[in-house]
Structure 1
Amino acid sequence: MNAPRNPVPAARLREFIEDEARALGFDEIAIARPDAGWPAAPRLKTFVEKGRHGTMEWMAETVERRAHPNALWPQARSVIMLAMNYGPDENPLSLLERRDRAAISVYARNRDYHDVIKGKLKTLAQKFAARTGAEVKVFVDTAPVMEKPLAADAGLGWQGKHTNLVSREFGSWLFLGSIFTAADLEPDSPEHDHCGSCRACLDICPTNAFPAPYQLDARRCISYLTIEHKGPVPHEFRPLMGNRIYGCDDCLAACPWNKFAKEASEAKLAARDDLTAPAIAELLGLDDAGFRIKFSGSPIKRIGRDRFMRNVLIAAGNSGDPALSPHVEALLADPAPLVRGAAVWALSLLADPRDFDRLATVNQAGESDGDVRYEWAHAMETA
């Protein structure tokens, strides 16, 4: 379908979009052209060819659809990019020193941003379509859309050396959403790269997940390991995870542009008190029902209780607190092999060596899962 003739003058239409978007709580609005040059496509292809997407098979399966915005919807003439600030009220790096507490990424400390933003985008898209008669489609992260390159093309910021979007006004703390439309809108100018010689985001990464500036190897990224990776976390990364149990904010928080960042104004994105610095001991006691209740409406719920508990057990092992041993020992009998294996590793660091030898003798012989038997053998070798 061709884009309809727009009865609203361009200047008034832009003003309408901005007024409606800000009334819905969006902090930044800009427009990109999907038919512009798209250097992100070869970068994505290289990323997948090198295997840096890890076990995220959906990225390999959607490379062609992600390669260009018009590959997703050929009728799109313009992309309205919107950003919502989720800046924290304190530096999240300070929590990493509190080893009895669990660190949850800033973006996941309240409601799932997909739900919050998508509802607002739909409202804006419907008003835009009613005003212009143009077709629209709404996307928030779950579709094969490369939001960060589009946001950079629209001028919302630039992709920093950590590959995330950086804004001169909001630093690294922006959620992105997009409205694709058949309407022909005047695009904004792309933002220039303002990283300069700074390496703060690269140097702070505890697992060296950046092979080079502007390149990420997800297989080494704590966000990937705690959220996307489904199996046991490789042993080499476990001590480096510290108390991070869902995501990692290190490279975002280290960016000097955060000196201009503001605290989130959307109430649904403000951190819940019980998720700001939850006690590891408390989280170790969550069964499946308790997990579902505690994280109802949270993005954390999507990884499931077993993967979540794997992460909490790694944090427990890294805590150095022997008082957590009884909580960890109870999980040696957990129904999930993933949880039992992580419990073995954590207990090997926390328990008295004689108690651990006793537990190994009893549990290793009766263990039916190969991965968990490997954890016992590895723990005995390295203890």
Structure 2
Amino acid sequence: MFEHKQQPGIEARIKAKAAELGFVACGIARADAAPLTALRLRQWLDEGRHGGMIWMEERAHQRGSPAGLWPDVRSVIALGMSYAPAADPLRLAAAGEIGRISVYAQGGDYHDVVKKALKALGRWLAQEAGCDLKVFVDTAPVMEKPLSEAAGLGWQGKHTNLVSRDSGSWLFLGAIYTTLDLTPDTPGRDTCGSCDACQRACPTDAFPAPYRLDARRCISYLTIEHAGPIPDEFRASLGNRIYGCDDCLSVCPWNKFAASAAANMAFHPRAELTAPALADLLALDDAGFRQVFAGSPIKRIGRNRMVRNAAIAAGNSGSRALLPVLERLRDDADAVVAEAAAWAIGRLTRV
């Protein structure tokens, strides 16, 4: 471990450097600043609300606290990068033959963009302060949301996502664990009040109570993480959503402060992902899928899951024009895709 001394004003310099690298939010917390995280995670897992996300269970001991992952950590630098949309995410709700993709996935892959900036900040901090550190984005066993709340970036709203007074709900989160003893910021304060817009907006009733999420009912989970057939009870509620869902985020009143001008250019939507035609998605083979979604976070779900989602959306579209391409999928090599296509055909031809 490096020997280090805390430098006067290093916290302000960290925040200035973070802003220079494209982060719109930066805050600092002690490594033990979110003590209830492990208990709440354990309860969520014991209730089975993580569904098939087995990795949440397997590394729960590391997720519960920063020290569980890295015993030497003393401070956490929480960071947020904006992907605030310029257009209303709900505008295509009634466009039956169009697939709706979550705002965060319409541009460049946030894993790459955020991690590159985090590494640059980490290199700078190591040189400036002579410390050990580790950087994390999403895929590591790190509970970014409670840590970000502890660091003053915002608070976890009733939809369980972070809400910022300045950036609303549209923040990609990252974290730097460091051996530095940094002066912490004031934690975020819950300002949801009596508002329950996010709860009422959820198409599948995925919130058993405010601040609690049942991932098994969440459209984002069902279209991205869930590998098998989508349960019948949720299919109609998916509407034309083919990758993720923004409904609970979009209705949050705090988003009126999230200026789209603050969004990182890397996350500006690609034209082909803003309103893709279901007919085109249903016709994708593996090579076509990789070509269309190269450089996108969507690529990780693979062709079969995307076509499955598009088939369910086609069944909800009311458009018999999609029947020919669905018929070709009846005998798809992937049994889940074939079943989804058969379901869609039945729904569109039902008298």
TM-score normalised by the chain length of structure 1: 0.90
- Counterpart of 2:335 in structure 1 is 337
- Counterpart of 2:78 in structure 1 is 81
- Counterpart of 1:166 in structure 2 is 163
Amino acid across the alignment from 1:294: V
For residues 308 and 295 of structure 1, the distance between their equivalents in structure 2, rounded to whole angstroms, comes to 11
Query: What are structure 2's unaligned runs of at least 5 residues?
Result: none
From 192, 197, 213, the equivalent of 1:195 is 192
Amino acid across the alignment from 1:183: L
Alpha-carbon contact 1:331-1:339 (below 8 Å) kept? yes
For residues 192 and 223 of structure 2, the distance between their equivalents in structure 1, rounded to whole angstroms, comes to 28
- Counterpart of 2:305 in structure 1 is 307
Amino acid across the alignment from 1:4: H
Q: Secondary structure at the match of 1:29?
A: strand
Alpha-carbon deviation of 1:62? Answer: 1.2
From 178, 194, 207, the equivalent of 1:181 is 178
Amino acid across the alignment from 2:177: F
- Counterpart of 1:323 in structure 2 is 321
Q: Does 1:295 align with 2:289?
A: no
Identity %: 57
Alpha-carbon contact 2:2-2:130 (below 8 Å) kept? no
Q: Determine which structure has more spread, i.e. the larger CA radius of gyration.
A: 1
Q: Secondary structure at the match of 2:330?
A: helix
Alpha-carbon contact 1:225-1:233 (below 8 Å) kept? yes
Alpha-carbon deviation of 1:39? Answer: 1.2
For residues 163 and 36 of structure 1, the distance between their equivalents in structure 2, rounded to whole angstroms, comes to 18
For residues 5 and 260 of structure 1, the distance between their equivalents in structure 2, rounded to whole angstroms, comes to 38
For residues 235 and 95 of structure 1, the distance between their equivalents in structure 2, rounded to whole angstroms, comes to 23
Amino acid across the alignment from 1:155: G
Instruction: Call closer, same or farther: CA 1:283–1:37 in 2, change over 3 Å.
Output: closer
Alpha-carbon deviation of 1:268? Answer: 1.1
Alpha-carbon deviation of 1:35? Answer: 2.0
- Counterpart of 1:348 in structure 2 is 346
Does 1 or 2 have the higher relative contact order (CA < 8 Å, sep 6+)? 2
Q: Does 1:157 align with 2:140?
A: no
Alpha-carbon contact 1:2-1:75 (below 8 Å) kept? no
For residues 116 and 149 of structure 2, the distance between their equivalents in structure 1, rounded to whole angstroms, comes to 23
Amino acid across the alignment from 2:277: A
Alpha-carbon deviation of 1:47? Answer: 0.5
Q: Does 1:4 align with 2:4?
A: yes
**1:43-71 CA-partner distances (Å, limit 9, x unpaired):** 11110000000011111111111111111
For residues 37 and 94 of structure 1, the distance between their equivalents in structure 2, rounded to whole angstroms, comes to 37
- Counterpart of 1:365 in structure 2 is none
From 232, 240, 245, the equivalent of 1:235 is 232
Deviates more, 1:217-226 or 1:257-266: 257-266
From 38, 41, 58, the equivalent of 1:44 is 41
Deviates more, 1:38-47 or 1:195-204: 38-47
For residues 170 and 206 of structure 1, the distance between their equivalents in structure 2, rounded to whole angstroms, comes to 24
Alpha-carbon contact 2:165-2:257 (below 8 Å) kept? yes
Alpha-carbon contact 2:133-2:177 (below 8 Å) kept? yes
Alpha-carbon deviation of 1:113? Answer: 0.3
For residues 315 and 301 of structure 1, the distance between their equivalents in structure 2, rounded to whole angstroms, comes to 19
Alpha-carbon deviation of 1:3? Answer: 5.4
Amino acid across the alignment from 2:62: R
Moved over 2 A (4+): none
Alpha-carbon contact 1:3-1:184 (below 8 Å) kept? no
**1:16-50 CA-partner distances (Å, limit 9, x unpaired):** 21221111111011101112341122111110000
For residues 88 and 340 of structure 1, the distance between their equivalents in structure 2, rounded to whole angstroms, comes to 34
Alpha-carbon contact 2:75-2:177 (below 8 Å) kept? yes
Alpha-carbon deviation of 1:265? Answer: 3.1
Amino acid across the alignment from 2:93: L
Alpha-carbon contact 2:34-2:65 (below 8 Å) kept? no
Alpha-carbon contact 2:85-2:263 (below 8 Å) kept? no
**1:213-243 CA-partner distances (Å, limit 9, x unpaired):** 0000000000000000000000010000000
Question: How does 1:73-152 map onto structure 2 within 5 Å?
Answer: 73-152=70-149
Alpha-carbon contact 1:172-1:252 (below 8 Å) kept? yes
